[in-house]
Amino acid sequence: MSASVLYDVPGPRARRRNLLYSVVGGAALLGLLVFVVMRLYSQGQFESYMWDLFEYNGIRQRLLDGLVSTLLAFSMAAVLSLVLGALLAAGRLSDHRPVRWVCTAVVEFFRAMPLLIMIFALYLSVFTGTPLWALVIGLTLYNGSVQAEVIRAGINSVPKGQAEAAYALGMRKTQVMLTVLVPQAVRAMLPTIISQLVVTLKDTSLGYVITYEELLYAGGVIMRNTVTEGGNPYVPVVIVVGTVYVLMCLALSYLATWIEKRGRRSRKGTPPAAPDASAPTPGAVPPQMAPEAALEAPRKS
Amino acid sequence: MNVLLDHFSLFRDGFLGTLSLTAVSAVIALVLGALVAACRVSPVPPLRAFGTMWVTLLRNTPLTLLFLVAIFVVPQVFFPGLSYYTLSVWALGCYTSAFVCEALRSGINTVPVGQAEAARSLGMTFGQTLRLIVLPQAGRTVVPPMSSILIALTKNTSLAGAFNVFELFGAQKTLSELGYSIVVIFGWIALAYLIITLTLSGLFRLLENRLAVAR
């Protein structure tokens, strides 16, 4: 909190006030937590009979199978959506107008459609007996369109001079794209691509609606079919399944942030840029640094 | 064409259902998101931790799971007797609030520190700095992400249809059970969603142009 847009560095009085707020806020949050836990406890959600179901091999196996199905759908959708995204991005960057139009229309349409509506329609029309394929194709069409936009933005973010220089050396269109633009663009777009993959992973849970037996569906079946002394074990199952989902998504998100941090490291020993140094901040750059910053600028744009 | 005309009331109810789900949960999301964003940028550590936890947890949970929590856990443990509509709206609102919070926070972070420092050295109070300097600049950068968040929310409302709230997905299910060709139904439902999302993005583009300042 050394230099925040909102607050000055706190003096003794502000520090005392912040301490007061911390104590009050902390107490309120603690109270909320205690309320939730007490409520769950008084409803008997922590009794052993509510959690006994996880002792059974059948239920463990069912959850594990669900997890495997989720990962299967995710990996298929991830690969296919990246392929589709690359194709659509290439189409949108094409020199031929009709190709560009068709790809733009496809991308805009599938990005605007709710995934659930698409998956359901695919399930009823084409993949009647195979919910896996309905889910995978639906995810591919939607996420592929989004990835296409990410890839296109990445390629457009490479400085124009790069392509011009490559053409001047006599390279062909494909060569320019594959050997000059794409390798540089990947650096910039990898974090965004991975965060979209997190979305893909989360959306595999839509398989619940079309009865694809993924993790959430397995959890739902267990919830409804098990009856304990305290009623259906909604809370235990939600806690277990939710933890698995959150951990999987967090792992992917951390991968994205890690790659982003790595990418921000300097290439040739020049001092690493501050996170927001690319935005022109008047006053942040000392005047004698200005000419050097101006030299840096074209490479970044 | 016949499907639409024969079942116009079904389509209309679905359309209105989607609209009202979107509108109500958008209000919840904006209010909650603003509160959580205020927590996340406040100089009070427990509130900051709470904001971070809220955002991390909700951004990494599938919306379907959140719906399961809202539909099964909340009535069983906390508030029995709420309608599916209310529960769905809260699930959507809480989920979206995490994204709204992040958009607002990154909007505030794009304002250069020098701006606030200059305001403070002119003797402006905290309220004045926020109202006259920081928020007007942050607001402009927040508009485009907010537009895509609300469009995503519109699309996400379709999940409520899977949990007994009648909207466009519900209309699609009902019509396909009546035996109409799913391709035709999908076409009309798609058109209805396109109308909503295109209107939203048009409105936001207008807003963006209104707020734009030549620098």
Tokens 């390798």 correspond to: A183
Task: DSSP for A181-212, please give it.
Answer: IHHHHHHHHHHHHHHHHHHHHHHGGGGGTTT-
pLDDT tens digit sequence for B142-151: 988 999 999 9
- Is the separation of the CB atoms in B157 and B21 below 8 Å? yes
pLDDT tens digit sequence for A241-253: 999 999 999 999 8
B71 contacts in chain A (CB < 8 Å): none
Sign of CA dihedral A115, B186, B161, A234: negative
pLDDT tens digit sequence for A146-184: 999 999 999 998 999 999 999 999 999 889 999 999 988
Structural domain count, chain A: 1
Q: Is the pLDDT of residue A278 over 90?
A: no
Which residues constitute the domain of residue A189? 57-264
* H-assigned helices in chain B: 2-6, 8-41, 45-59, 63-68, 84-109, 113-121, 126-128, 135-156, 158-162, 168-177, 182-211
Domain ranges of chain B: 2-211
**Cross-chain Cβ contact B62/A203 below 8 Å:** yes
Counting one residue from chain A and one from chain B, the pairs whose CB atoms sit within 8 A come to 167
pLDDT at site A283 = 40
A26 contacts in chain B (CB < 8 Å): 46
Query: Which of residues 178 through 207 in chain B touch A, CB cutoff 8 A?
Result: 182-183, 185-186, 189-190, 193-194, 197-198
Of A18, A43, A276, the CB nearest to B43: A18
pLDDT tens digit sequence for B60-103: 999 999 999 998 888 888 888 889 999 999 999 999 999 999 99
A279: contact with B, CB 8 A cutoff: yes
**Cross-chain Cβ contact B77/A246 below 8 Å:** no
Query: Which of residues 71 through 100 in chain B touch A, CB cutoff 8 A?
Result: 72-73, 76-78
A187: contact with B, CB 8 A cutoff: no
Is residue A297 situated within a structural domain?
Answer: no
For residue A231, the SS3 value is strand
Percent of chain B with pLDDT over 70: 99
Is residue A172 situated within a structural domain?
Answer: yes
Q: How confident is the model at residue A287 (pLDDT cuts 50, 70, 90)?
A: very low
Is residue A170 situated within a structural domain?
Answer: yes
pLDDT at site B130 = 87
B176 contacts in chain A (CB < 8 Å): 124
Is residue A281 situated within a structural domain?
Answer: no
- Average pLDDT estimate for A20-40: 93
For residue A127, the SS3 value is coil
Evaluate whether ipTM surpasses 0.95: no
pLDDT tens digit sequence for B98-136: 999 999 999 988 888 888 889 889 988 888 888 888 888
A113 contacts in chain B (CB < 8 Å): 155, 190, 193
β-bridge partners, A231: A228
Query: Which of residues 236 through 255 in chain A touch B, CB cutoff 8 A?
Result: 238, 241-242, 245-246, 249-250, 253
Q: Which residue type, as a one-letter code, is found at position B143? A: V
Q: Is the pLDDT of residue A290 over 90?
A: no
Q: How confident is the model at residue A89 (pLDDT cuts 50, 70, 90)?
A: very high
pLDDT tens digit sequence for A7-28: 878 889 888 998 999 999 999 9
- Average pLDDT estimate for A74-101: 93
Q: How confident is the model at residue A300 (pLDDT cuts 50, 70, 90)?
A: very low
Question: What distances in angstroms separate CA A116 from CA A206, A213, A232, A300, one per listed residue?
Answer: 7, 16, 27, 39
Q: Is the pLDDT of residue A3 over 60?
A: no
Q: How confident is the model at residue B215 (pLDDT cuts 50, 70, 90)?
A: low
pLDDT at site A284 = 40
Sign of CA dihedral B47, B48, B51, B53: negative
Q: Is the pLDDT of residue B214 over 50?
A: yes
Question: What distances in angstroms separate CA A57 from CA A64, A68, A131, A178, A189, one per listed residue?
Answer: 10, 16, 26, 51, 43
Residue A127 belongs to domain with CATH number: 1.10.3720.10
Q: How confident is the model at residue A145 (pLDDT cuts 50, 70, 90)?
A: very high
Topology of domain B2-211, per CATH?
MetI-like fold (1.10.3720)
For residue A26, the SS3 value is helix
pLDDT tens digit sequence for A45-59: 888 888 888 888 888
Q: How confident is the model at residue A291 (pLDDT cuts 50, 70, 90)?
A: very low
